[in-house]
Amino acid sequence: MENRIRVLLLASVMLLTSGCATLHKHMHWPWHRHAKAQTAQDADAAADAAAAAADAAPPPVVIEPQVERRKIKVPKIKAKNVELGAYFGELSAESYTAAPVVGVVFDYHVTEDFFFEAAAGRSKTGQTSFETLGGNVQLLTDDERRFTYYNLSLGYNFLPGEVFLGRNLAMTSGFYLLGGIGGTKFEGDQKFTVNFGAGFRVLPTDWLTIRIEAQDHVFKSDFLGTDRLRNNLAAHIGATVFF
Amino acid sequence: MPRRSTTNWLRLLALLLCVAPLPGRAAPRELLQLFVTAPYIELHTGPGRGYPVAQVVARGESVDVLYRRTEWFKVRTERGVEGWASEKSLETTTLADGSPFRFDHGDRRGFQSHRWEGGIFAGDYAGATLVEGFWARSITDNLKLELHAGQFLGNLSNGYVADLGLNHVFMPEWRLSPFVTLGTGFERTEPKATLVTPLNQNYQTAYAGAGARFYLTRRFFLRAEYRHHTVFTKSDANEVKQEWKIGFAFFY
């Protein structure tokens, strides 16, 4: 309970310091001596200017301008940096037979070169060769055989170009590299996972993307004997939409 | 059980497809018209400097800005031709009243003063490996409200953390600027099964921390921090957890 009070007090101190930092930009505090001096100087300058204005005769008004300046309302420019979609492919978890994988993907393009990606996918791996040869031996339950993963990655676009379909259709395209971190739930455990890969995307229109991608999901595990790094390769094809 | 979860996934996908608005069919909206004052501006086929130039727009002509993607603008010329113009080339254009076209850049000034931030963290949460994403909203240049959500993966237990708090940046105009942070959150710990199946534990937490942010380039910055968490357990004594993390982030 004591901790909560301490947290409350610290929170109020933090808010106050932020408030002061903001106000500091807009007003002069009384303890700022140079601010007072500046004000006195400003007053002198204003008095001089007033005297000069009084000397000069007011210019005669010839024509009163009747033109009103056009006010331009600047419409907001819509930003379409978000890409949302799904993919389907094959995942080959090390030591298991390959199996289909499905996933969803969310991209945010920050610059023309770099983007952030959050992805999540799911597969159900096949059997190990030990299980296949051993007849009725089952190392994992059905639930433990589920390979569920997510990752947060940074992507880099390179080799931009165009692909041509026949004489009249050109579509923009580009390769990208991906690398990130995440987690995998497999073999009854959650594992810290590093993912990296590359892909190729084609844009039939400016809002639709078709992508082909290959990724490796690497984690450390001792489930199959020794504690070692295991590579789980996935290849998939997907479609995303820009928002 | 697995069959049911597959059905749930398919349902979610179907829902996403239904909810997703169909692009390209939006209601007609007012577009920004820009006038070219440079001898010409180039229109590329795609939003990147590597895509070929397919059209040019001459001085005195105008373009309608349809939307933007990163630092590229999709525009339509008076003749109805569409293409991508760079942020840099549109700096030379003017609005209909003759005033120059201005917009937010991803630069040092943007680093000091922006609305949103997001990024990815990797680190150590009480001995476990931490993977985390964060989102922040600026209240002032100094003060931000931020949300962190992540997963920790350890030898003895795994779990999830989510924190909501305030972040005070001392000198936002500095390239390397220190900050302090304070907030509250939630922690779910899932101990790894050994002989008996242990129970998952959900606790409220509070944290105080400090760190620094470093501007890299364009819209990117690095962020490193330490957090001291107090976990309000059900036992007599509260638990203390230390967190170290480094992240790669962007602002806009």
Could you report the per-residue pLDDT of A92-139, keeping only the tens digit for each?
Answer: 999 899 999 999 999 999 999 999 999 999 999 988 888 888 878 888
Q: Is residue A17 part of a domain?
A: no
CA angle, residues B83, A211, B28, in degrees to nearest 5: 40
Which of A145, A206, A207, A223 is the mutation pick for testing B, counting most B CBs within 10 A? Answer: A206
Domain count for chain A, please give it: 1
Residue corresponding to tokens 């393009």:
A109
Residue A2: which H helix or E strand, with range?
helix A2-26
Residue B44 CB contacts under 8 Å (≥ 6 apart), including other chains = B51, B52, B53, B54, B72, B83, B84, B85, B86
Which residues of A fall within a CB distance of 8 Å from B100? none
Half-sphere exposure of A4 (CA within 13 A, CB side): 5
Q: Is residue A61 part of a domain?
A: no
pLDDT at B46: 93
pLDDT digits (tens, 9 = 90+) for A118-129: 999 999 998 888
Predicted TM-score of the model (pTM) = 0.80
Residue type, A101: V
Q: Is residue A41 part of a domain?
A: no
User: Percent of chain B having pLDDT more than 70?
Assistant: 87
Mean pLDDT of A231-243: 96
Q: Is residue A135 part of a domain?
A: yes
- State chain A's mean pLDDT as an integer: 84
Instruction: Classify residue B127 by its DSSP letter.
Output: T
**CATH code of A193's domain:** 2.40.160.20
Instruction: Indicate if the pLDDT at residue A24 is higher than 60.
Output: no
Say yes or no: A181 contacts chain B, CB-CB below 8 A.
Answer: yes
pLDDT at A126: 86
DSSP β-ladder status, B176-191 and B157-169: antiparallel
Record: fold of B110-251: Porin (2.40.160)
Which residues of B fall within a CB distance of 8 Å from A72? 95-97, 99
Which residues of B fall within a CB distance of 8 Å from A14? 143, 166, 168, 180, 182
pLDDT digits (tens, 9 = 90+) for B160-205: 999 999 999 999 999 999 999 999 999 999 988 665 667 888 999 9
| Contact between A239 and A209 (Cβ < 8 Å) | yes
- Phi, psi of A176, deg, nearest 5: -145, 155
pLDDT at A35: 46
Q: Do B97 and A15 touch (CB under 8 A)?
A: no
User: B110-251: same fold as B31-103?
Assistant: no
Residue corresponding to tokens 């996403």:
B16
pLDDT at B166: 97
Q: Which domain holds residue A214?
A: 82-242
In this predicted model, which residue has the larger pLDDT, B222 or A60? B222
Instruction: Indicate if the pLDDT at residue A57 is higher than 70.
Output: no
Q: What is the ipTM of this complex?
A: 0.84
Architecture in CATH for domain B31-103: Roll (2.30)
Which residues of B fall within a CB distance of 8 Å from A122? 9
Q: How many helices (H) and strands (E) does chain B have?
A: 3, 14
Q: Do A74 and B252 touch (CB under 8 A)?
A: no
Which of A123, A150, A152, A189 is the mutation pick for testing B, counting most B CBs within 10 A? Answer: A152
Domain ranges of chain B: 31-103, 110-251
Burial label, A12 (beta-carbon count in 10 A; 0-12, 13-18, 19+): exposed
Closest-CA residue of B relative to A221 is B155
pLDDT digits (tens, 9 = 90+) for B224-245: 999 999 999 888 889 999 999 9
Q: Is residue A6 part of a domain?
A: no
- A8: tokens are 């409350």
Say yes or no: A48 contacts chain B, CB-CB below 8 A.
Answer: no
